[in-house]
Structure 1
Amino acid sequence: MPNNDRTERILVYIVRRELRLTDNPILHHISELFSKNRTPFTHLLPVYVFPARQIEISGFLAPNVDTTDGSTNDITNTSTSKPTSIVESPYPPARSVVGQFPRCGPHRAKFWAESVWDFKTSLESIGSGLAVRVGRIDDILENILDYFKSGKGNYAAGVKCEVVGVWITAEEGVAEKTDERNVFRVTGMKGVNTRTWKDEKFLVDDRDLIYMTPKEIPDTFSEFKKTVGPLRDAPRKPLPPPDMLPPLPTRVPPQPTPFKVPNTLGGWISGLLKPLEENPVAMITPSYPIGAKSQHTYHGGEAYALEHLKNSISSGAITKFRDPRRGNIGEDYSTKLAAWLALGCVTARQIHDYLVNFEEGKTQVGQYAQGYAEGESKSTSGIRLELLWRDYLRLCSRKYGCKLFRLEGFKGELDRQWKHADNIDVKEQIQRFIEGGTGNPIIDAVLREMYLTGYTSDRGRDVVAKYFSKQLGIDWRIGAEWFEYCLVDYDVSEFWGNWQYCAGVGNDPSWEVPSVRASEVQEAYIKQWIGEDFI
């Protein structure tokens, strides 16, 4: 009798902030092994989890969940449970610690969902796919491992399924490190090999830095910049996208109850926005002014990030870039790439590579734009400097850990007297702040634009942060948490590091944001966002 036993050896890839095919070290490595028929696994299961700690997922609770067992490789939505009319989430609401705002607002939630969907579509185009779940990463992983270990994945006689490894990319941030420890805890209990990969979405690779330990990272950006050397020569080349990947397992574990994840982008967005719409933060919501235009109308995802980057080069906008902290309206003061960078839809070294190709005339992108094949300009140099600043703030997160979120900041400023929300007058000040009703025209214009569109200029962010922390003297973390809720391009290290700097408790970036002078206040911008309220 022939031996028909067959084993599906499965590698689980936990995707986090690397929502791209190009310049993805894990997918590149898997593709190379697969093309040479050298993979120790036969199937790949990429898994993305909308994390319950960072985004509200109660909109996916299923009052009457499907009772089927999800026994195919439909990797989207099947749940197993007895029907019930009242369902409670096993997770606490995703709220900020001090201000108790939702961790993620509607603009970022939509962009986030779009980015995951784009990545899922890209994986499917090369024969793979993406299992999208909601919950905690360790809970979802334990469910997957138990499913295959129990034999539920064995879809036919003589077929066995086993997980032979779990791979995950390391991230900076307290919650992110907690997730990583929990992954190792689960895989340790289940006896599954686990590998952590270095995060390579930044400008300068960790392997090229001189620091052996986080303690050696300088406390000033200027000193850090010196150790990098010539910035244009520092980044490594981006990795090509994979040509092919191993197939999905024949059976994929379903979403654990009591949640149900739909199989459409619209369903994802609806589930993420539902709890935000049912519980609005602002008591008085600013209305969208007639004629006002959002400066961030972009779609999430790798394909859209690369399209925007190419358009910025071809249109010549990339050569008009100056200090992003000196503008409020228009295209010239910002590349608008931060939201894609935050989710890993594009990497800093990809942006650098596009700039080099433009500066040296290596490709046709931007061939008719000013500056093509003319070498590095002040604009392209400024973009690299901004990308390096993001690198530095990420390393500060590594060095200081949970101090990123402490009132005294990196500097340990214990002498400052801060106002807190337990005072009724301060609480009213905070409410006026989040509603864009402080009475200060430029502050209110920035706050309303940010709330209504999910975006505002770097200059506006710095001015508002200094106003909140220094002029009002209120616990700066409340302002940072409000930014986290509102803005589409939230990045934990960059946002909290910049707020610390503006509040005077963080590291010195080696540049000073000029104070607002009457001659610099853009009246057209203010009128655009607060309309007839402007006096």
Structure 2
Amino acid sequence: MQTTKKEIGLVWFRSDLRTQDNSVLQNAIKNHKSVIACYCFDPRHFETNPFGFKKTEQFRTQFLIETIKDLKQNLKALNIELFVAIDYPESTLNTLVKKFDISSIYVQKEWTSEEITTFENVQKNLPQSINYFETFDQFLFHPADISMGFPAIPKVFTEFRKKVETYSRVRFSIENTKAEPIKDIINESTIPNLKDLGFDDFETHPNSAFPFKGGESNASKRLHNYFFETKKLGFYKKTRNGLVGTDFSSKFSPWLANGSISARTIYWAVKTFEKEHFKNQSTYWLIFELIWRDYFKYISLKHQNNIFKIGGILKKDYQWQTDKYLVNKWINGETRSSFVNANMIELKKTGWMSNRGRQNVASFFSKELLLDWRIGAAYFESLLIDYDVHSNYGNWMYVAGVGNDPRDRKFNVDLQAERYDPNGKYQNIWLQQVLF
């Protein structure tokens, strides 16, 4: 029997760009005989922000293009067509709703200001009769399972961690099911390339610590390699503060950031590793880092737009500067610290920086140069392949002294360089780049 248009559900992909363990997608498949999907390369994501940086630069854009290509292919295997546009979601969704007589739209629930505005624009532009099914699907511990409301989220991470570890559970990953194919469906949309989005083609830097491609297929390959082929997971806690190479850390963050892999998938893979091989501090520590990721999401749910304000969630009144000369010195790796400089050059040339590097350059920016931390956060948003709004602003607030660090620490970048790059190997790799 041929599927009628009224039986079609629409999945609007945003930062949940996967088919595996995707409750938004599976809800649509469960409730409709057939499903279509869409993704919009929103022009607003490529505009210049108030601090003078393009919101999304070439590195994350390339990773996103690769991700959408993979998503389209994987959705095809579930009999779902992905419609792609370089356009505003409110316009694209309106077209698809009319063409396929859509009455239900499925979407991952977002809560930060820009995402809320976009969702409101969509609602204003579509018929009031449309049903929206928003689902929280980017957590390790689902909001319904943490035994506390958002206002009760603790001020300090350790308290949050102990509560969720004691009283909460991680949901099992969701098994994929297929939709029924739509007969004679026509999809003339195409996935853009870099030039379509205003960028020149580029080659991945040979020294990049993140030479990987986007998409859930590549996320799965990386997980399998890091856990089960090389068993590097078993040494994660010892190597996670490394600076050089691909394997000092898991490198899952870019795929997590755009939803190519779920935190649940990683968690249950750790549990499988522990069952099949061994359990130690390193296997726990990777889960520990996933809980940190959750924590910053809950902090943004609790404090809303305060995470974007200069006083942060503590509403502290520091004397911040906006000196463009100093900002550019930091961006271009021309500060007094060779360690900071090396990290900033790596970021500029690859779109990547280690966790240790991020803490140091952010502390130097806010605590030594005394610059408005939001400028640094906006620059990270522009350049980082693994930009995630909650982790980015949560970490910047933390380091700047307006967030969740009860000790308000300042990193001694000189001592940090001696400790983590004692032979200058990392600094030599990137400082020589300024000569070329």
State if a TM-score over 0.5 links the two structures: yes
Kindly indicate whether residue 118 of structure 2 is the aligned counterpart of residue 118 of structure 1.
Answer: no
2-side partners of 1:309 and 1:6: how far apart? 38
2-side partners of 1:384 and 1:467: how far apart? 29
2-side partners of 1:447 and 1:388: how far apart? 27
1-side partners of 2:350 and 2:262: how far apart? 24
Q: Which residue of 1 aligns with 2:344?
A: 447
Which residue of 195, 212, 217 maps to 1:270?
195
- Structure number with higher relative contact order (C-alpha < 8 Å, ≥ 6 residues apart): 1
Larger Rg: 1
CA contact (8 A) 2:401 2:409 kept: no
CA offsets 1:451-492 (integer angstroms, 9 cap, x no match):
111111100010000001110001111111111111111000
1:327-342 → structure 2 map (5 Å cutoff): 327-331=242-246, 333-342=248-257
1:377-388 → structure 2 map (5 Å cutoff): 377-388=280-291
Q: Which residue of 2 aligns with 1:77?
A: none
Which residue of 83, 92, 108 maps to 1:140?
92
The 3 A distance-change label for structure 1 pair 250 and 229 is same
Structure 2 residues without counterparts, runs of 5 or longer: none
Identity of aligned residues (%): 29
CA contact (8 A) 1:20 1:345 kept: yes
1:61-460 → structure 2 map (5 Å cutoff): 94-97=47-50, 99-145=51-97, 147-148=98-99, 161-187=100-126, 189-199=127-137, 201-212=138-149, 214-230=150-166, 234-242=169-177, 244-248=178-182, 250=184, 263=190, 267-272=192-197, 275-277=198-200, 293-313=207-227, 314-322=229-237, 326-331=241-246, 333-361=248-276, 372=277, 374=278, 376-414=279-317, 416-420=318-322, 426-460=323-357
2-side partners of 1:5 and 1:381: how far apart? 50
Q: Which residue of 1 aligns with 2:40?
A: 49
SS at match of 2:12: strand
SS at match of 1:229: helix
SS at match of 1:132: strand
The 3 A distance-change label for structure 1 pair 223 and 162 is same
2-side partners of 1:512 and 1:238: how far apart? 38
The 3 A distance-change label for structure 1 pair 324 and 467 is farther
SS at match of 1:410: helix
CA contact (8 A) 1:436 1:448 kept: yes
The 3 A distance-change label for structure 1 pair 326 and 253 is closer
CA contact (8 A) 2:60 2:384 kept: yes
**Which structure has the highest helix share of the two?**
2
Kindly indicate whether residue 16 of structure 2 is the aligned counterpart of residue 18 of structure 1.
Answer: yes
Q: Which residue of 2 aligns with 1:528?
A: 429
1:455-470 → structure 2 map (5 Å cutoff): 455-470=352-367
Q: Give the AA of the match of 1:239.
A: I
CA contact (8 A) 1:144 1:253 kept: no
Give how far 1:123 is off. Answer: 0.9
2-side partners of 1:405 and 1:501: how far apart? 13
The 3 A distance-change label for structure 1 pair 270 and 5 is closer
The 3 A distance-change label for structure 1 pair 504 and 512 is closer
Aligned residues: 428
1-side partners of 2:429 and 2:267: how far apart? 34
2-side partners of 1:43 and 1:501: how far apart? 45
The 3 A distance-change label for structure 1 pair 47 and 249 is farther
Give how far 1:429 is off. Answer: 1.6
SS at match of 1:444: helix
CA contact (8 A) 2:367 2:400 kept: yes
Q: Give the AA of the match of 1:299.
A: K
Give how far 1:133 is off. Answer: 1.2
Q: Give the AA of the match of 2:107.
A: I
SS at match of 1:326: coil
Q: Give the AA of the match of 1:454.
A: G
Q: TM-score, normalised by structure 2?
A: 0.91
Kindly indicate whether residue 376 of structure 2 is the aligned counterpart of residue 479 of structure 1.
Answer: yes
Structure 1 residues without counterparts, runs of 5 or longer: 34-38, 57-93, 149-160, 255-260, 279-286, 362-371, 421-425
Give how far 1:22 is off. Answer: 1.1
SS at match of 1:268: coil
Q: Give the AA of the match of 1:322.
A: K
1-side partners of 2:183 and 2:398: how far apart? 48
CA contact (8 A) 1:45 1:249 kept: no
Q: Give the AA of the match of 1:520.
A: R
Which residue of 485, 499, 507 maps to 2:404?
507
The 3 A distance-change label for structure 1 pair 288 and 241 is closer
1-side partners of 2:3 and 2:10: how far apart? 19
The 3 A distance-change label for structure 1 pair 162 and 249 is farther
